[in-house]
């Protein structure tokens, strides 16, 4: 609706694959703040608050290739960190 044209919104997603789907559907998303991805048995912990699956890693790579800025910031007052650099350093094998 045109009445929401100038509205800024914060969207919350369960996983990065959902963000890829939304972008592919035509929703322009420029920046994603990654945080709060809980640890489970099938996940690799890469920071205190972010644990990822192989599927998540692939989705983050896709987002990066689509030109989406991926940042890690727990609190609004925290400095922005380059999430792709953190992810790549943590998943080097």
pLDDT at residue number 93: 63
pLDDT at residue number 25: 96
pTM above 0.85, yes or no: yes
Domains and CATH numbers, the chain: 2-90 (3.40.35.10)
Secondary structure, 3-state, 31-68: EEEECCECCCCCCEECCCCEEECHHHHHHHHHHHHCCC
pLDDT at residue number 53: 95
Whether the Cβ atoms of residue 22 and residue 29 lie closer than 8 Å to each other: yes
Q: What is the pLDDT of residues 13-46, one digit of tens each?
A: 999 999 999 999 999 999 999 988 988 888 999 9
Q: What percent of the chain has pLDDT over 70?
A: 99
Mean pLDDT of the chain: 92
Whether the Cβ atoms of residue 20 and residue 64 lie closer than 8 Å to each other: no
């Amino acid at each position: 609706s045109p009445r929401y044209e100038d509205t800024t919104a914060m969207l919350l997603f369960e996983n990065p694959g959902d963000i890829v789907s939304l972008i592919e559907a035509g929703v322009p998303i420029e920046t994603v703040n990654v945080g709060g991805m809980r640890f489970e048995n099938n996940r690799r912990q890469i920071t205190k608050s972010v644990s990822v699956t192989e599927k998540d890693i692939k989705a983050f790579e896709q987002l990066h290739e689509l030109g989406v800025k991926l940042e890690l910031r727990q609190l609004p007052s925290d400095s922005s960190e380059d999430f792709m650099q953190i992810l790549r350093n943590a998943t080097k094998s």
